[in-house]
Structure 1
Amino acid sequence: MTTIYDISKATGFSPTTVSKALNNYPDVSEKTKQIILKKASEMGYIPNSHARILTTKKSWTIGILFDEKLNIGIKHPFFNAIIESFKKNVEMKGYDLLFISKDIGKNPITYLDHCKIRGVDGVIIITSDPKNEQIQEIINSDFPCVLVDNESDVASSVYSDNLRGCYLAVEYLYSLGHRKIAHIYGSQETFAGKIRYEGFINALEKLNLEKIDEYLVDGGYFSFDGGYRAMKKILEIDDRPTAVFVSGDLMAFGAINAAKEEGLRIPEDISIIGYDDLEMCRYFTPRLTTIRQNTELIGEQAANILIDAIDKKIARTSVIVPVELIIRDSCKSLI
């Protein structure tokens, strides 16, 4: 079995430096860490978890708290992609992952209690309801945590530039000659739904477009069915819009199906643009034009922020991740 002394001999660094690098101590340079970690991987080094826990006073485990209204859980393609990126980045630093629930066996406990019982070093929080009492308990405690796709005044957070994304979507439709633009928005109880609704209204104002109340339809919690029902309402409007900006790709897929059921062609009869850039966007018919959220970078930033909070006791940090307009086939020029 490979030991730290074998790695020390192979790299030329002292056993102490090797040990510190393997345990992610901050007083070892990143360049040195990468050399040691690469050699350790090549040599098949397997750390002694018990010794590492005793040495570092950490469990080397991070909790994932997933709490959302649709009960889709990890199957949700947007959050699944973020968790995959987060997983990859924390595993590179030597951490395992544990999903956090409110119940252990038949004994209901809070999320914070579960984190403490399991001894996790920190927790990533993905929730559609950050005002939930149990979520607030963690956020307002001194337990290391980071919120994803949410904003907080007291806890660290990582989320996309929603306001910019909304402007990019509406401005693109405007550049194609659309002036009657509807919006299927997500639940105002969610951070994304609320801020994207505001972003849509701000974009209308910047482009001197009229806000038409009939064109604003609630799609609920970003589901396919919610988008389908919202689009049915839009298609009942006498002065029908020429384009619809949908606050999430799953809702956009539902909206497209609703339009097709009414005999409409996308984009010949009505243009639709989504938000997220889920992998299935490129395979759906028509291929969906959308705003891309960089799930890889969101997961990476969340991992870095949380590990810094655990290791360096760094206080609240908020990161806004850039977005990008992805043009495909679901929008038509009227010019």
Structure 2
Amino acid sequence: MVTIYDVAKKTGFSSTTVSKALNNYSDVSEKTKQEILRAAAEMGYLPNSNAQSLSTKKSHIIGVVFAEENGVGMKHPFFNAVIESFRKHAEREGYDLIFASRNLRNRDVSYLEHFMYRGVDGVIVFCSRADDSQIQDLINSKLPIVVIDMMEAPCSTVYSDNVEGGKLAVQHLHSLGHERIAHIAGSFINAVGEARAKGYQKGMQEIGLSIRDGYLVDGGFFSIEEGKLAMNKLLDLEVQPTAVFTAGDHMAIGAIEAIKERGLRVPEDISIIGFDDIDMVQYITPKLTTIRQDTDLMGNQAAQILIEQITHKKKVISSNVIPVELVSR
């Protein structure tokens, strides 16, 4: 195993200088630092993580929690895309990720206890409900934290402009000539679903359209099955909508299936617009118009915010809203 003494012998610098260069000390010139780093890479030098942790007081590990209601976690394309973007940025900065198992609760161990035991430097949480007691424990702890998809919390949060997205969806459908516009909402106990429903209501109000009875449907937790059930409720109304804004692309796929099973056509009979812009909606028939969330920017910004807190050893309270855009297909 290659040590710093081996690197020192190869480069001719003292072991102290080599150690400082490898740990990015400012009193080592850039030229010297690059020469040492190049030699270390060529020799296959790997720092001892335990020794590094003792000297820097950092583990270079970030904990990850998925606390969303439908329990799909990384199987959902949105979460998968955000965490992949987050991972890339964190790894460039020298951090590894560990994921908290949902089975922790069955073992009577909290997320906070688990992460304190593992010695993580910070935590990223995917959570859209503010009433989860374990998430609140994490938020109120001393650990640096960033939360994805929570609108209001005493910590750093990163989320899409869901209200604006709802308005964009309504404006687009109205521009196509629709006035009977319905909305399949995400669960009303979910902050994201509530915000998108608010955008729908604001959009309808701003263009002077009233929301008919039964046109605002609780579509549950953003699944294909729940989108289909909600669409069937709309199709059972005496006066069917001519257009539907769904709070998620999975729900939109379910809605399209329900429409086709009734012998109707999309978009000739009923237009559908989604929210997320997951990859598969480019390939279904018809291709789905949707509101795109910038998952690359969300993950990248979340990583920057969290690592900055870790570096400065200071928790920060901030709301970071990521713009959305209409993708017309």
| TM-score normalised according to structure 1 size | 0.87
Change (3 A) 1:6 1:180: farther
Match of 2:130 in 1: 130
Match of 1:281 in 2: 281
Match of 1:309 in 2: 309
Match of 1:321 in 2: 322
Letter of the 2:232 partner, please give it: K
How far apart in 1 are the matches of 2:220 and 2:144? 31
Match of 1:210 in 2: 210
How far apart in 2 are the matches of 1:281 and 1:39? 45
Where does structure 1 differ by over 4 angstroms across 4 or more consecutive aligned residues? 1-9, 14-17, 34-45, 102-106
How far apart in 2 are the matches of 1:72 and 1:48? 36
How far apart in 2 are the matches of 1:137 and 1:314? 14
Q: Secondary structure at the match of 1:182?
A: strand
Change (3 A) 1:198 1:41: farther
Contact residue 7 and residue 18 of structure 1 kept, 8 A:
no
Deviation at 1:211, TM superposition (A): 1.7
How far apart in 1 are the matches of 2:116 and 2:280? 38
Structure whose CA Rg is larger: 2
Contact residue 185 and residue 216 of structure 1 kept, 8 A:
yes
Match of 2:56 in 1: 56
1:268 has 2:268 as partner: yes
Deviation at 1:16, TM superposition (A): 6.4
Letter of the 2:50 partner, please give it: H
Aligned residues: 318
Change (3 A) 1:284 1:311: same
Change (3 A) 1:193 1:40: farther
Contact residue 64 and residue 97 of structure 1 kept, 8 A:
yes
Task: Give matches, 1:27-106, under 5 Å.
Answer: 43=42, 46-101=46-101, 103=103
From 1, 16, 21, the counterpart of 1:18:
21
1:170 has 2:170 as partner: yes
Q: Secondary structure at the match of 2:66?
A: strand
Match of 1:253 in 2: 253
How far apart in 2 are the matches of 1:224 and 1:37? 54
Task: Give matches, 1:147-166, under 5 Å.
Answer: 147-166=147-166
Deviation at 1:132, TM superposition (A): 0.9
How far apart in 1 are the matches of 2:305 and 2:119? 19
How far apart in 2 are the matches of 1:300 and 1:8? 36
Q: Secondary structure at the match of 1:213?
A: coil
Match of 1:116 in 2: 116
Post-superposition Cα deviations, 1:11-33, rounded to whole Å, max 9, x if no partner, equal xxx74663343xxx7x69xx99x
How far apart in 1 are the matches of 2:104 and 2:70? 22
Greater mean alpha carbon deviation, residues 311-320 or residues 161-170: 311-320
Change (3 A) 1:268 1:109: same
Deviation at 1:137, TM superposition (A): 1.1
Contact residue 8 and residue 18 of structure 1 kept, 8 A:
no
Contact residue 102 and residue 110 of structure 1 kept, 8 A:
no
Greater mean alpha carbon deviation, residues 247-256 or residues 301-310: 301-310
Contact residue 158 and residue 302 of structure 1 kept, 8 A:
yes
How far apart in 1 are the matches of 2:84 and 2:208? 41
How far apart in 1 are the matches of 2:120 and 2:175? 50
Contact residue 292 and residue 327 of structure 2 kept, 8 A:
yes
Deviation at 1:153, TM superposition (A): 3.3
Letter of the 2:138 partner, please give it: I
How far apart in 2 are the matches of 1:35 and 1:182? 60
Contact residue 11 and residue 36 of structure 2 kept, 8 A:
no
Structure 2: give runs of 5+ residues left out of the alignment: none
How far apart in 1 are the matches of 2:218 and 2:23? 53
Contact residue 273 and residue 289 of structure 2 kept, 8 A:
yes
Match of 1:193 in 2: 193
How far apart in 2 are the matches of 1:66 and 1:40? 40
Contact residue 18 and residue 36 of structure 2 kept, 8 A:
no
Contact residue 146 and residue 302 of structure 1 kept, 8 A:
yes
Letter of the 2:216 partner, please give it: L
Post-superposition Cα deviations, 1:69-106, rounded to whole Å, max 9, x if no partner, equal 21212211110111111111111111111111365597
Structure 1: give runs of 5+ residues left out of the alignment: 329-335
Match of 1:332 in 2: none
Letter of the 2:324 partner, please give it: V
How far apart in 2 are the matches of 1:7 and 1:186? 61
How far apart in 2 are the matches of 1:237 and 1:147? 39
Letter of the 1:198 partner, please give it: K
How far apart in 1 are the matches of 2:172 and 2:256? 19
Change (3 A) 1:206 1:59: same
Letter of the 1:158 partner, please give it: V
Letter of the 1:149 partner, please give it: D
Contact residue 18 and residue 36 of structure 1 kept, 8 A:
no
Q: Secondary structure at the match of 1:197?
A: helix
